[in-house]
Chain A
């Protein structure tokens, strides 16, 4: 009787260990699969063509520069809106608002995070795009700006909730010490609390950016999908084409194994690497924060 329990215990423990390591297996699997299907691009497409400024695959133009720039423009725009607004909202929720208001605001922001991207894209087409076209007198409302506004709305909940947690984690003693020295609450927030929480806040920003780069449906529906290069600040109000929208729009049509197929996987590799870099940086920042806090509290 003792023996059989040992045996089943042994098997179960091994299985559990396997599931734990399976996460690594999945990441590696995804990366190698993308690499396998995307690598032929280097052989099939001359490098000069790859970094050219024209994306028109059916005629052999495989320049991914407009797509990279498109993703970049929309991401920069969205983060420019989302970071200040998100940080201020997080500060408001964490430092200023009374308890009852906080209990309303936090769930409200979570709800925004739950709204599917296709619903926001739908509202973008029907409501936001025509409105912006009329308001700003643009040729068309399908632009990088429209995309940026909606993407800011999508990454806001991530930024707010993580920044709020970071601000919450700052020890009360910091604030009390500052107030004891005669600073106002306002001065305390900006000179003491926020700097103390800065790695957590930075993490919030990075994860928000990560969310924005990877967004697909919303940008596909409202950014106009024109593969152009950035021609100055005003280009922001004109259509662009992102990497994610390109994959989503063109993937269905490619014949397996064609050059177009390979280059779409190649774009997928680029997206994967972007998110990898952002996430590793963000988590490295968090690890350092934990170690620092442990040192201070010990």
Chain B
């Protein structure tokens, strides 16, 4: 029987070394799978990528040909989401940042935003189905999908835009008012332009989330196969995440490399937007006037 004294300086240092080692291993445990996933998809899917794959229509029951309509559909959905969501988000962010005083109503707004952010994506899909598809009779359409996605992305846009506006120094506003401008003129000509890069970053990150979501569009916009590109906002559309879901679970005899190829294209979209947002962020940091 021997007792180990755990409070001598040596033993404390040993404990620290062991502790640091464990934390490092755990951190590696986190990062290695990430890299492994990305690399794995890249290697397996690369062979499927070709000009034909990216610009062609699916053939032979989806087992050959390309994924062009899915790419276009995702693009349309993203565009529509941006159109609906950005004006409301910037308005709300301007309100929270410039006009609202910290009273109970403002707190309620903030709680509402946090809640919108936490609602599961399938509940949004349910809501979108009930309200836009059935009640307002838009049917399964790009319009219904975009409206659903735009409510879903509101919280991300609002919080990043508000943060961007808050980071504009108060002195800018003060100087503008002292020169005789009204509050709205100050916002429009000084605060918003200065916050623009931050707002843009938030927009890109929010749209990045909308690109990858499947559950909200499952019943509001997505179609298994369309013979042509959608003609109007009331048409259903194919979309990349839904397409991946369908070809990996519903098409018999689907060549595996095409599945990986679709996953790769989706991943590249997301990573591309991520890199874009980072570039905008660092460019803004350099350009900052304060």
Contact = CB atoms under 8 A, between A and B. Distances in A.
Do A and B touch directly, given a CB cutoff of 8 Å in the complex? yes
Interface of A: 5, 9, 12-13, 15-24, 26-27, 29-30, 33-34, 37, 84-86, 88-89, 91-93, 96-97, 105, 107-112, 114-123, 125-127, 153, 156, 160, 184-187, 207, 210, 213-217, 221, 244, 247-248, 251-252, 256, 264-265, 268, 271-272, 275-276, 278-280, 282-283
Given A19-B89, A29-B131, A33-B131, 16 more contacts: A9-B183, A26-B112, A30-B123, A92-B24, A96-B23, A105-B27, A109-B34, A111-B38, A114-B212, A115-B212, A125-B249, A186-B16, A216-B121, A268-B123, A275-B115, A279-B114
Nearest to A127: B40
A91 B26 CA distance: 10
B194 interface: no
16 contacts: A9-B184, A13-B99, A89-B23, A96-B20, A105-B27, A108-B35, A118-B244, A119-B241, A123-B263, A184-B12, A215-B120, A216-B214, A251-B218, A264-B126, A268-B122, A271-B122
Contacts of A127: 40
B240 to A, nearest CB: 9
Contact of B248 (A13, A23, A89, A122): A122
B111 interface: yes
Contact of B19 (A89, A186, A213, A251): A186
Contact of A114 (B121, B124, B270): B270
Contact of A85 (B15, B30, B215): B30
A65 B8 CA distance: 54
A282 B112 CA distance: 13
Contact of A283 (B16, B110, B154, B208): B110
Contacts of B19: 186
Interface stretch (B51-59, B63-71, B90-98, B166-174): B90-98
Nearest to A156: B30
Nearest to B241: A118
Given A221-B249, A279-B114, A119 B244 contact: yes
Nearest to A248: B122
Nearest to A104: B31
A1 to B, nearest CB: 13
A16 B99 contact: yes
A66 to B, nearest CB: 18
Contacts of A153: 33
Nearest to B129: A251
B125 interface: yes
A231 B88 CA distance: 49
Nearest to B27: A92
